[in-house]
Amino acid sequence: MTSSGPRAHYWLILLGVAVVLVGALVVAMPAHEEPSPRPAATSVEERVQQYSAALREDAAYRPPSNDERRTFVDALTSLSSGRPDDVPAVAGPLRALGMSVAQGVDDRTGRAYVIVSSEPNAERGWGLYVVDLTRPTRLALQVPHPANDLRTDEIGLDLFRKVPGSVLAVSGTHRAVANGAGDAAHRTDSMFHALAVEHSDRGLPQVQLHGFGDDSLSSADAVISPGAGEAGPEHRRIADGLEDVLRVCRAWTRDCGQLEGRRNKQGGVAAEHGVTFVHLEASRAVRDDAATWQAMVSVTAEVFARA
């Protein structure tokens, strides 16, 4: 049976409209629904904290080759002059190493910086590095165990902000990765160490941040050591300043247990060059109290800001 007349014409028009609307809807819809993306880090603080929190001890990892370390160090060193215009020239070589390169302005200090970072848990997990672009580098800050010594990354970033002209190096591995190959403080085949060697060659003072359990040295809240070197005026000034708020163990005057960093690889190179190396350990109680560790940072920053 067929339809005819005005009524059939009316239904044909409605059918045509419906087909057009359905077609438009199909074109407008995505092929499948995607979950809402996680907000990207928008500040240097978020980048550092998200990076450290993501590190796993079961990640794949391989140390960089000699050529890769040289390429990396040359690129980072070229950024130490404090000229933002130098960033594009080194971005290519760094990205070829599997690292991202991003510039920004710190919302706390108003200072321009560049952040160079490997992907967390990638085979080339070679670290995260923040360089102040507003002036030549004069202080190197090192966080070798960000996934293990909790909040040392936050402490390092706070110190970076308080001392203009700093470079912050955060290891890219959990210290247990690859049967200890990721323990940046005790290995010499990492990007982290290669950069520290360059800094010692250039005579830059270095502060390396660690954490210890409260029961490991119950008589102290912080341990200050020159590592393999000799204590200098910077170590003494930091210790003197901290004694108003913390119980301090001075490794050059008494035994501070296994917290003195005498076998620290970066400290060993600094000692060979006669460069200031501050191995600073903070107890878990100190690291859990922002007001306390910020006071520790302020004292340390004041010592190096004078230079």
pLDDT band for position 5 (cuts 50, 70, 90):
low
pLDDT band for position 306 (cuts 50, 70, 90):
confident
- Asked if the model's pLDDT at residue 218 lies above 50, the reply is yes
Query: What integer is the mean pLDDT of 132-142?
Result: 97
Pairwise pLDDT comparison (12 vs 137), residue with the higher score: 137
Percent of the chain with pLDDT over 90: 82
The structural architecture, per CATH, of the domain 44-305 is 3-Layer(aba) Sandwich (3.40)
- Asked if the model's pLDDT at residue 79 lies above 70, the reply is yes
- Asked if the model's pLDDT at residue 207 lies above 70, the reply is yes
d(CA 79, CA 296): 28
On whether the CB atoms of residues 277 and 196 are closer than 8 A, the answer is: no
d(CA 243, CA 253): 15
Percent of the chain with pLDDT over 70: 86
Q: Strands 222-225, 112-118: parallel, antiparallel or unpaired by DSSP?
A: unpaired
On whether the CB atoms of residues 259 and 281 are closer than 8 A, the answer is: yes
Query: What integer is the mean pLDDT of 54-58?
Result: 95
Query: What integer is the mean pLDDT of 280-303?
Result: 97
pLDDT in tens, 152-185: 999 999 999 999 999 999 999 999 999 999 999 9
The pLDDT value given to residue 299 = 97
Q: What is the CA radius of gyration of the chain?
A: 26
pLDDT in tens, 24-54: 433 333 333 233 333 445 699 999 999 999 9
Residue 98 — left, alpha, or beta (φ > 0 → left; ψ -120 to 50 → alpha)? left
Averaged confidence pLDDT in the chain: 88
- Write the CB contacts of 233 (distance below 8 Å, at least 6 apart in sequence): none
Give per-residue burial for 47-76: e unless 16+ CB within 10 Å, then b: bbbebbeebeeebebebbeeebbebbbebb
- Asked if the model's pLDDT at residue 116 lies above 80, the reply is yes
Question: Domain segments of the chain: what residues?
Answer: 44-305
DSSP H helical ranges for 37-102: 44-54, 66-78, 87-96
Q: List the beta bridge partners of residue 19.
A: none
d(CA 240, CA 262): 22
Pairwise pLDDT comparison (13 vs 131), residue with the higher score: 131
The pLDDT value given to residue 40 = 43
d(CA 175, CA 185): 9
